[in-house]
Amino acid sequence: MIHGFYVKNPTPIEALEAVSSDDLHAREIKFRKTRIDGGEVYNELHDSWIGFKFGDVFNITNSQDIYPIERKVFEATYRKVDE
């Protein structure tokens, strides 16, 4: 399961894999505007709803904006930050 801090070019982001609706409900405080059952998350920067599927990874920016990334794209472009 993907969860923790990752870096890309070298901006660190928080990431969380969308494994199940229970997992997302447990972290609902971060997902202020999320339609979990409909598979959409609200992206404040772009003022739009973005679809996601379980297995996608959420990029949670420093400003707490959220957007999903396909897992294979995430794995190809991000690396885990050493703790």
Distance CA 28, CA 17 (A): 13
pLDDT band at 39 (very low <50, low <70, confident <90, very high): confident
Ranges 7-16, 35-44, 62-71, most confident:
62-71
Instruction: Record the tokens describing residue 14, joined without a space.
Output: 């928080």
Confidence of residue 38 (pLDDT cuts 50, 70, 90): low
Q: Which amino acid appears at position 64 of this protein?
A: Q
Q: Are 34 and 49 in contact (CB under 8 A)?
A: no
Q: Tens digit of pLDDT for each residue in 10-34?
A: 777 778 787 776 666 656 545 556 6
